[in-house]
């Protein structure tokens, strides 16, 4: 039995903040942001809460999977911007969806949170402890961005992406996954005492490219899949230069790399499930295709997962 994604969904705030809007807030320019990050605009939640975005994405995923909330056994929410200190956003989402059985919890691994959650869900399904798992990556990073810090405020956006996973014998499978963390490097990317995101960009760039490449090569080697067989790579959308460097090192042409950072910026744990949903909707990812996903975030945390969709 393999782990199959049977439904996906996303939620994106209506409010769009462009680079030209940011020019009015801090000393920056559209050209500077675009050249260094690849970002043109991002979504900023005004009225939408973390739970509301998670709920909308989850309902879309349920509809596409032709399932009801009561069909879900476990809810896992990957986020670094929870709705409350406690209870977990997972429990709040469980209540909003009307799920009265099973259990729910949050997982905090920053930008790697979705991949960490995917590995947890795969383990629950393969062990028989769950039949269906809802995994949601959701962030409201606009609440922890210092809007006077031009080095970070241009990077981040808000949104949610959800997937529903279940056991299947039709060939769909999480072929390999590998997660890492290195707590000694926490001060490269973290939240300060005021709760604002702080980052050492140059150091993070080097570490991100190296570690994501190594994680990708490890899952490819474990599964016996050469890079040329990958249909699509969905990297965490942090910086287009990181994405380009990673693709070059792996020898994967850019036409097989999914990029939406220009429209959404860095949405942390939500970035991969948002991109995954869009790739499926656009027909760039079809049943039987091999998709390689990789991310790196604060912790430092990183990892990669290879899925036969």
Catalytic residues: 111, 236, 266
E strands present in the chain: 2-11, 16-18, 41-43, 74-78, 103-107, 132-140, 158-168, 173-181, 189-191, 197-199, 232-235, 290-297, 301-308
- Structure-derived torsion over alpha carbons of residues 209, 211, 216, 217, reported in degrees to the nearest 10: 100
Which CA distances in Å does 29 have to 21, 26, 151, 226? 9, 9, 12, 41
Q: Please state whether the peptide bond connecting residue 87 to the residue before it is cis, i.e. omega within 30 degrees of 0.
A: yes
Q: Is 11 helix (H, G, I), strand (E, B) or coil?
A: strand
Q: What is the C-alpha to C-alpha distance for residues 301 and 296, in angstroms, rounded to an integer?
A: 6
């Amino acid at each position: 039995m393999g782990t199959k994604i049977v439904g996906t969904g996303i939620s994106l705030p209506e409010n769009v903040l462009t680079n030209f809007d940011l020019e009015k807030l801090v000393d920056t320019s559209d050209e500077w942001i675009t050249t260094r990050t690849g970002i043109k605009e991002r979504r900023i939640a005004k009225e939408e809460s973390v739970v509301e975005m998670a709920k909308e994405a989850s309902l879309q995923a349920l509809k596409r999977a032709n399932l009801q909330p009561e069909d879900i056994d476990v809810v896992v929410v990957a986020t670094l911007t929870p709705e409350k200190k406690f209870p977990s956003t997972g429990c709040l989402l469980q209540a909003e969806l009307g799920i009265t059985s099973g259990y729910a919890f949050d997982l905090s691994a920053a930008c790697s949170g979705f991949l960490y959650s995917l590995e947890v869900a795969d383990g629950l399904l393969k062990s028989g402890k769950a039949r269906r798992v809802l995994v949601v990556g959701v962030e409201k990073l606009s609440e922890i961005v210092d809007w006077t810090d031009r080095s970070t405020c241009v990077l981040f956006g808000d949104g949610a992406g959800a997937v529903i996973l279940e056991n299947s014998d039709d060939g769909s499978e999480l072929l390999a996954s590998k997660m890492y963390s290195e707590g000694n490097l926490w001060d490269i990317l973290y939240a300060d005492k005021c709760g604002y995101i702080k980052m050492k960009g140059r150091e993070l760039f080097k570490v991100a490219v190296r570690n994501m490449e190594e994680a990708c090569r490890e899952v490819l080697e474990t599964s016996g899949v050469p890079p040329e067989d990958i249909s699509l790579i969905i990297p965490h959308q942090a910086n287009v230069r990181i994405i380009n460097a990673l693709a070059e090192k792996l020898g994967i042409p850019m036409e097989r790399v999914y990029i939406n950072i220009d429209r959404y910026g860095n949405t942390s744990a939500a970035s991969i499930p948002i991109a995954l949903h869009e790739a499926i909707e656009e027909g760039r990812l079809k049943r039987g295709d091999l998709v390689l996903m990789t991310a790196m975030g604060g912790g430092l945390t990183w990892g990669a997962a290879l899925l036969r969709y």
